[in-house]
Structure 1
Amino acid sequence: MKIPFNKTYQTGDEEKFMLEAIRSGAICGNNQFCKKTIELMKQKYGFNEVFLVPSGTAALEMGAMLANISPGDEVILPSYTFSSTVNAVVIFGARPVFCEVDPVTMNMDPEKIEALITPKTKMLLPIDYAGLPCDIDKIMEIANRHNLIVMQDCAQSYGSVYKGKPCGTVPHIATFSFHETKNYSAGEGGALIVNVPEWVQRATFLQEKGTDRSLVINGMKNKYSWVDKGSSYLLSDCLAAMLYAQLLHEDEIRTKRAMLTEAYFDVFQKYHDRDVVGIFQPTAKQEINHHAFWVLFDTLEHRQEFMTKCKAKDVYAYIGYMPLHSSPYGLKLGYKPEDLPVTENIGNCIVRLPFYTGLADEGLEYTKGVMKQAMNEIYPL
């Protein structure tokens, strides 16, 4: 049996809705399925306003544009994240200021933020690693005290909840990804959440290539003009139809993925209790969406041994992110690996386990058995 790291899941409604979108003849952005999906998201989670975009990367870029990130600005973010997070500020000329992460959560450590704030700091950009919500209340408190914008990268945390508040509802701006590797997928897709009402109209201009076309569509003008910078940040209605099918089955998908979380805790909890590995540890204030499960090994050698043993049985785990600060471009910006030792160690020792919805239906017991055997051989009692 072969267990890949990721595999797409279909609910059975995708084809029907996508054909309906195609046959409607209106397949560009902000048509019927975009509107249905936005309304579903707002009703379920209480977002102020939702903009469906072509990717999580596009959402980050549109958010940075909305926040007026410009040359000379500084943005504080974790080094342990995907390149899209940092590229969203670098392409507008801002300097990324990398912050250490908390090894218990893999999220940006709020206790390390204030020491990095300077007069040039404009934004805090935390992420929710593996769907585990960051301490957004503490981050917002810091931001408000220093008059900073917060854009929360919720690429992995759609449906997660922190202290009773859905991820994406608290910061000024939030972004989601609906890539094929996420819990709910449009193949490629994303969303920008705008929680500052005064910013919503401008966001419509940015999404429509810097024009006020949205005012024409809403009957407020009879022709549109170029009024701002912008780009084509619109999700095709065909892909929105696919996403709508997925989100209608959100509870079913979450239930299946929760089975994976439970299974992996069954394998790894005793090794965490022995203090030889660190694992995903949600608290009572964090309701997770079951996006992923990670294991932090005590040494690089043990990580490699685990992955090799699993691969020999056709179970494919993944190494996780390479830290940005010690990547080639990070080095070009003047960072050194030793600047963030906690993050550097995590990059060397972390493993992401196979995690996809269909694994709950086929292959989970096999995967557990392979991993149990590997761990028993690496860490014998």
Structure 2
Amino acid sequence: MKIPFNKTYQTGDEEKYMLESVRSGAICGNNQFCKRTVELMKQKYGFNEVFLVPSGTAALEMGAMLADIGPGDEVILPSYTFSSTVNAVVIFGAKPIFCEVDPTTMNMDPERIEALITPKTKMLLPIDYAGLSCEIDKIMEIANRYNLIVMQDCAQSYGSVYKGKPCGTVPHIATFSFHETKNYSAGEGGALIVNVPEWIQRATFLQEKGTDRSLVINGMKNKYSWVDKGSSYLLSDCLAAMLYAQLLHEDEIRTKRGMLTEAYFDVFREYYYRGVVSIFQPTAEQEINHHAFWVLFDTSEHKQEFMAKCKAKDVYVYIGYMPLHSAPYGQQLGYRPEDLPITESVGDRIARLPFYTSLADEGLEYTKEVMKQAMNEIYPL
């Protein structure tokens, strides 16, 4: 039996809604399924305003544009994240300031943020690694003290909740990804959440190539004009239809993925208590969406051995991110591996386990047995 790292999940309604979109003849952005999906998201989680965009990457770029990030600005973010997070900073000419992570959560450590703030700092850009929310309340407190913007990269945390508030509802702006590797997928897709009412109209201009076309559509003008910078940040209605089908089945998908989380806790709990690995430990304040499961090994060698033993049985474990500060482009920006020793260490020792919705239906017990055998061989009693 082959267990890949990821596999797409279909609810059974995707074809019906996508065909309905195609037959409508209106398949560009902001048509019927875009509107239905936005309303579904707002009703479920109380987002202020939602803009469906082509990807999580596009959401980050649109958010940075909305925040007027530009040359001379500094943005504080973790090095342990995907390249899309930092690209949204550098493509507009700003400087990324990398912050260490908290190894117990793999999220940006809020206790280390203030030391990195300078007069040039304009934005804090935390992520929610593996669906576990960052400490957004502490981050917002710091941001408010220094008059900074917060854009929360919630690419992995749609549906997660922190201290009673859904991820994406607290910061000034937030982004989601609906890539095929995420819990709920449009194949390619994303969303920008705008929680500052005064920014919403401008966001509609940025989404529509810098034009005020939205005012024409809403009957407020006869002709539209070029009024701001912008790009084509619109999700096709066909892809929105696929996402709509997925989100209608959110509870079903969450339940299945929760079975994976429990199974992996069952495998690794013993080794966590023995002190040879770390695993993420959601607190009572954190309701997770079961996006992923990571294991932090005591040594890089043991991680590699675990991955090799699993691969030999056709169970594919992923290495996780390569820290950005020590990546080739990070070093071109002047960073060195030793600048963030915690991030460098955990990046070398972390592994992410196979995690996809249909694994709950087939293959989960096999995966558990393969991993238990590997761990017993690496860490015998």
Tell me how far apart the structure 2 counterparts of residues 94 and 231 of structure 1 sit (CA, whole Å): 19
Q: Could you say which residue in structure 1 is the equivalent of 2:318?
A: 318
Q: Could you say which residue in structure 2 is the equivalent of 1:41?
A: 41
Query: What secondary structure, in the 3-state scheme, does the structure 2 residue paired with 1:33 have?
Result: helix
Q: Could you say which residue in structure 2 is the equivalent of 1:18?
A: 18
Query: What secondary structure, in the 3-state scheme, does the structure 2 residue paired with 1:216 have?
Result: helix
Query: What secondary structure, in the 3-state scheme, does the structure 1 residue paired with 2:157 have?
Result: coil
Query: What secondary structure, in the 3-state scheme, does the structure 2 residue paired with 1:330 have?
Result: helix
Query: What secondary structure, in the 3-state scheme, does the structure 1 residue paired with 2:101 have?
Result: coil
Q: Could you say which residue in structure 2 is the equivalent of 1:369?
A: 369
Q: Could you say which residue in structure 2 is the equivalent of 1:302?
A: 302
Q: Could you say which residue in structure 1 is the equivalent of 2:278?
A: 278
Q: Could you say which residue in structure 2 is the equivalent of 1:70?
A: 70
Tell me how far apart the structure 2 counterparts of residues 317 and 328 of structure 1 sit (CA, whole Å): 24
Q: Could you say which residue in structure 2 is the equivalent of 1:340?
A: 340
Q: Is residue 2:194 matched to residue 1:194? A: yes
Q: Could you say which residue in structure 1 is the equivalent of 2:208?
A: 208
Query: What secondary structure, in the 3-state scheme, does the structure 1 residue paired with 2:102 have?
Result: coil
Tell me how far apart the structure 2 counterparts of residues 269 and 63 of structure 1 sit (CA, whole Å): 39
Q: Could you say which residue in structure 2 is the equivalent of 1:7?
A: 7
Deviation sequence 1:40-85 (CA, Å, 0-9, x none): 0000000000000000000000000000001000000000000000
Query: What secondary structure, in the 3-state scheme, does the structure 1 residue paired with 2:107 have?
Result: coil
Q: Is residue 2:92 matched to residue 1:92? A: yes
Deviation sequence 1:244-300 (CA, Å, 0-9, x none): 000000000000000000000000011011110000110100000000000000001
Superposition deviation, residue 341 in structure 1 = 0.5
For 1:48-127, what aligned pairs fall within 5 Å after superposition? 48-127=48-127
Question: What is the identity, as a one-letter code, of the residue corresponding to 1:208?
Answer: E
Tell me how far apart the structure 1 counterparts of residues 345 and 278 of structure 2 sit (CA, whole Å): 12
**C-alpha RMSD over aligned residues:** 0.2
Q: Could you say which residue in structure 2 is the equivalent of 1:173?
A: 173
Question: What is the identity, as a one-letter code, of the residue corresponding to 2:347?
Answer: G
Give TM-score, length-normalised by structure 2. 1.00
Question: What is the identity, as a one-letter code, of the residue corresponding to 2:27?
Answer: I
Question: What is the identity, as a one-letter code, of the residue corresponding to 1:89?
Answer: V
Runs of 4+ in 1 over 3 A off after TM superposition: none
Q: Could you say which residue in structure 2 is the equivalent of 1:142?
A: 142
Q: Is residue 2:154 matched to residue 1:154? A: yes
Tell me how far apart the structure 1 counterparts of residues 127 and 336 of structure 2 sit (CA, whole Å): 22
Query: What secondary structure, in the 3-state scheme, does the structure 1 residue paired with 2:374 have?
Result: helix
Deviation sequence 1:121-171 (CA, Å, 0-9, x none): 000000000000000000000000000000000000000000000000000
Count of equivalent residues: 381
Query: What secondary structure, in the 3-state scheme, does the structure 2 residue paired with 1:354 have?
Result: coil
Query: What secondary structure, in the 3-state scheme, does the structure 1 residue paired with 2:231 have?
Result: coil
Q: Could you say which residue in structure 1 is the equivalent of 2:258?
A: 258
Q: Could you say which residue in structure 1 is the equivalent of 2:291?
A: 291
Superposition deviation, residue 34 in structure 1 = 0.1
Query: What secondary structure, in the 3-state scheme, does the structure 2 residue paired with 1:75 have?
Result: strand
Question: What is the identity, as a one-letter code, of the residue corresponding to 1:328?
Answer: P
Q: Could you say which residue in structure 1 is the equivalent of 2:350?
A: 350
Q: Is residue 2:330 matched to residue 1:330? A: yes
Tell me how far apart the structure 1 counterparts of residues 154 and 301 of structure 2 sit (CA, whole Å): 32
Tell me how far apart the structure 2 counterparts of residues 301 and 289 of structure 1 sit (CA, whole Å): 30
Question: What is the identity, as a one-letter code, of the residue corresponding to 2:73?
Answer: D
Query: What secondary structure, in the 3-state scheme, does the structure 1 residue paired with 2:108 have?
Result: coil
For 1:238-249, what aligned pairs fall within 5 Å after superposition? 238-249=238-249
Query: What secondary structure, in the 3-state scheme, does the structure 1 residue paired with 2:123 have?
Result: strand
Query: What secondary structure, in the 3-state scheme, does the structure 1 residue paired with 2:76 have?
Result: strand
Deviation sequence 1:292-326 (CA, Å, 0-9, x none): 00000000100000000000000000000000000
Question: What is the identity, as a one-letter code, of the residue corresponding to 1:331?
Answer: Q
Question: What is the identity, as a one-letter code, of the residue corresponding to 1:144?
Answer: N
Tell me how far apart the structure 1 counterparts of residues 342 and 366 of structure 2 sit (CA, whole Å): 33
Question: What is the identity, as a one-letter code, of the residue corresponding to 2:201?
Answer: Q
Give TM-score, length-normalised by structure 1. 1.00
Between the aligned residues of both structures, percent identity stands at 90
